[in-house]
């Protein structure tokens, strides 16, 4: 095999040797052993290694032009072996010891690629008080740096700036961390690598505190008829999988070795392939673009202090089965500084309840209360009922105070209340239209009442085209329409 004439070997990784007293072979002589200069090199010579065996061992093949040291089996010059490779003036060391103090402290392995500027490298730096190690590949600048990390080129003895202390795994390409049985990311110190590998009692304590806080607030919400935090049920299987007192431990023996700690406690283990992130300080997630969080089941967030949410544009929340907001103390506020506030119940009732006073204020405009059927105002034993074209007062004593009491005859004007969207399943829809029998013109602003076979009742007034709202039903049903003032109705 020959790659740009840097490497020539046979199937058994043997090489050819040229002794100093022989003429240098012509170009491509190593690549073409059958060429005319073959007589200037030896036959194939084996290369010794530090360890060798059936399908195991170490191997570093000499490249073309490398100076090697030979030994001869039983002193026979016809039985040479390559025992070592030597540096010389032509092939200098990757980290010259003359470049003190760094060069004298370096050892390791450096392998340039075959015909380019790339390399693979393992560097051990034994500099006093600044121990470090680097495993590197020039491909995509991929490196694993351990210990006292400094800037240091691939070769040479110059020590650059200090970059930090610890461990760095970096690359200009992709990086993947994959653990089939679980992964723990923690910034909690374990001095001198003490404790078991998956010791995470701090994280378990934080999860237990979160569970207690969430359950306490859930019980308080449920007692006040708000929705409870049903996702709390997911805490128990999570705790069970992490707690070594439950399922989170190894069996008593693993591969014939006792799997208990010195205090006879079991060795921690994830019972499920979980990802646990824990820190005694803060955790920050930041992105210049979009951040996506997805949970196939529950997404649970608990804070012992405050939980704030801020958005530069819009905050939108959508729930398929309900939304509940509960504040145990200090109230609940909804404020729109620059736009309207809309609270709608599309298919059911809307209730506003307060233990004390309810105040409705319009600072600069009016207050309108609209109802399709009637409006009832109750205070103590008195009732004011507005229904259809009539107003009824029910009270023990009625006082009307004013400078004058003009009664100028009947009045009023029709109005139309826009219908609300209905997201329920609708397989059938029906719409009626009121037409003047004599002229054929549509009748606008005509009150109506629509009753379905299922008992649903819809009130309204016809639009400018004389049409009612569309009445949705799950199946084909007969509907009854009542036309006219409210009440009575005319069918």
| DSSP strand pairing (142-150 vs 132-137) | antiparallel
Give the pLDDT of the chain (491 residues) as one tens digit per residue.
333 456 678 888 899 888 887 766 555 554 444 444 555 677 899 999 889 889 898 888 888 888 999 999 999 988 999 999 998 888 888 887 655 656 678 889 999 888 778 999 999 999 888 999 999 999 999 999 999 999 988 888 777 899 999 999 999 999 999 999 999 999 999 888 888 888 888 999 999 999 999 999 999 999 998 999 988 888 899 999 999 899 888 888 888 888 888 888 888 999 999 999 999 999 999 999 999 999 998 898 999 999 999 999 999 999 888 899 999 988 899 999 888 999 988 888 899 999 899 999 998 899 999 888 889 999 988 999 998 778 899 999 888 888 877 777 676 666 666 666 666 656 678 888 999 888 889 999 888 899 988 888 888 888 889 999 888 887 888 889 998 865 544 44
Q: Which residue has the tokens 């806080």?
A: 213
Whole-number pLDDT of residue 316 = 92
**Summary count for the chain: helices (H), strands (E):** 2, 21
CA distance linking residue 206 with residue 252, whole number of Å: 27
Helix (H, G, I), strand (E, B) or coil at 72: strand
CA distance linking residue 210 with residue 217, whole number of Å: 11
Within 13 A of 371's CA, how many CA atoms are on the CB side?
14
Report how far Cα 95 is from the mean position of its chain's Cα atoms. Answer: 44
CA distance linking residue 323 with residue 318, whole number of Å: 8
Q: Is the dihedral of CA 101, 104, 105, 110 positive or negative?
A: positive
Taking phi over 0 as left and psi of -120 to 50 as alpha, with beta for the rest, 74 belongs to left
CA distance linking residue 90 with residue 27, whole number of Å: 19
Whole-number pLDDT of residue 81 = 93
Report how far Cα 369 is from the mean position of its chain's Cα atoms. Answer: 46
The phi, psi pair for 133, rounded to 5°, reads -145, 145
| DSSP strand pairing (80-86 vs 67-72) | antiparallel
Report how far apart, in Å, the C-alpha atoms of 402 and of each of 311, 399, 405, 406, 431 are. Answer: 52, 10, 7, 10, 48
CA distance linking residue 122 with residue 133, whole number of Å: 7
Measuring CA to CA, which residue among 99, 104, 121 is closest to residue 112?
121
Whole-number pLDDT of residue 94 = 85
CA distance linking residue 300 with residue 207, whole number of Å: 11
| Torsion angle defined by CA atoms of residues 376, 377, 382 and 383, in that order, rounded to the nearest 10 degrees | -20
Helix (H, G, I), strand (E, B) or coil at 479: strand
Strand order in the sheet with 382-387: 374-379, 382-387, 390-394
Please give the sequence-ordered ranges of beta strands (E in DSSP) within 41-161, or none if there are none: 52-53, 56-57, 67-72, 80-86, 106-112, 119-125, 132-137, 142-150
Q: In the 3-class helix/strand/coil scheme, how is 151-209 assigned residue by residue?
A: CCCCCCCCCCCEEEEEEEEECCCCCCCCCCCEEEEECCCCHHHCCCCCCCHHHHHHHHH
Whole-number pLDDT of residue 366 = 92
User: Both tokens of residue 239?
Assistant: 């705790």
Residue-by-residue DSSP string for 118-137: -EEEEEEE--TT--EEEEEE
Q: Taking a C-beta distance cutoff of 8 angstroms, is the pair 132, 162 a contact?
A: no
Measuring CA to CA, which residue among 287, 270, 124, 272 is closest to residue 197?
270
- Out of 3.20.20.70, 2.40.50.230, 2.60.120.20, 3.90.1150.10, which CATH number does the structure's domain 1-91 have? 2.40.50.230
The domain ranges of the chain are: 1-91, 103-170, 200-222+229-249, 428-483
Whole-number pLDDT of residue 2 = 34
């Amino acid at each position: 095999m020959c790659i740009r004439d840097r490497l020539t070997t046979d199937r058994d990784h043997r090489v050819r040797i040229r002794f100093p007293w022989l003429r240098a072979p012509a170009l491509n002589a190593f690549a073409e052993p059958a060429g005319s200069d073959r007589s200037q090199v030896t036959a194939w010579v084996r290369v010794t290694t530090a360890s060798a065996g059936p399908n195991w061992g170490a191997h570093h093949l000499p490249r073309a032009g490398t100076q090697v040291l030979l030994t001869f089996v039983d002193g026979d010059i016809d039985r040479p072996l390559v025992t070592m490779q030597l540096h010389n003036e032509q092939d200098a060391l990757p980290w010259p010891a003359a470049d003190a103090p760094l060069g004298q402290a370096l050892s390791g392995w450096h392998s340039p690629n075959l015909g380019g500027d790339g390399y693979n490298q393992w560097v051990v730096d034994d500099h006093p008080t600044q121990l470090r190690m680097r495993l590197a590949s020039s491909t995509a600048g991929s490196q694993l740096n351990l210990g006292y990390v400094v800037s240091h080129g691939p070769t040479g003895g110059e020590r650059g700036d200090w970059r930090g202390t610890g461990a760095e795994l970096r690359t200009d390409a992709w990086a993947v961390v994959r653990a089939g049985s679980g992964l723990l990311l923690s910034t909690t110190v374990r001095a001198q690598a003490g404790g078991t590998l998956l010791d995470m009692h701090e994280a378990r304590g934080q999860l237990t505190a979160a569970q207690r806080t969430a359950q306490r607030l859930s019980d308080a919400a449920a007692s006040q008829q708000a929705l409870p935090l049903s996702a709390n049920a997911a805490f128990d299987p999570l705790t069970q999988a992490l707690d070594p007192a439950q399922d989170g431990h190894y069996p008593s023996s693993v591969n014939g070795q006792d799997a208990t700690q010195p205090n006879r406690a079991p060795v921690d283990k994830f019972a499920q392939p979980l990802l646990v992130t824990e820190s005694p300080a803060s955790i920050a997630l930041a992105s210049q673009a979009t951040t996506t969080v997805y949970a196939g089941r529950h997404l649970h967030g608990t804070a012992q202090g405050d939980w704030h949410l801020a958005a530069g544009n819009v905050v939108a929340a959508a729930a398929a089965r309900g939304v509940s907001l509960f504040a145990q103390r200090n109230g609940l506020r909804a404020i729109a500084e620059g736009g309207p506030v809309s609270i709608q119940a599309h298919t059911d009732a809307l209730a506003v309840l307060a233990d004390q006073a309810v105040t409705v204020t319009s600072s600069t405009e009016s207050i309108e209360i609209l109802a399709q059927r009637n409006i009832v105002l109750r205070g103590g034993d008195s009732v004011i009922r507005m229904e259809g074209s009539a107003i009824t007062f029910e009270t023990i004593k009625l006082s009307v105070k004013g400078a004058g009491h003009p009664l100028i005859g009947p009045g009023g004007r029709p109005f139309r209340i826009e219908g609300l969207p209905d997201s329920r399943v609708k397989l059938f829809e029906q719409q009626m239209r009121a037409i003047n029998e004599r002229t054929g013109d549509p009748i606008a602003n005509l009150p109506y009442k629509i009753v379905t076979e299922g008992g649903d009742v819809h009130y309204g007034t016809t639009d400018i085209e004389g049409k009612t709202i569309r009445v949705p039903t799950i199946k084909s049903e007969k509907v009854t329409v009542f036309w006219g003032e409210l009440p009575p109705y005319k069918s």
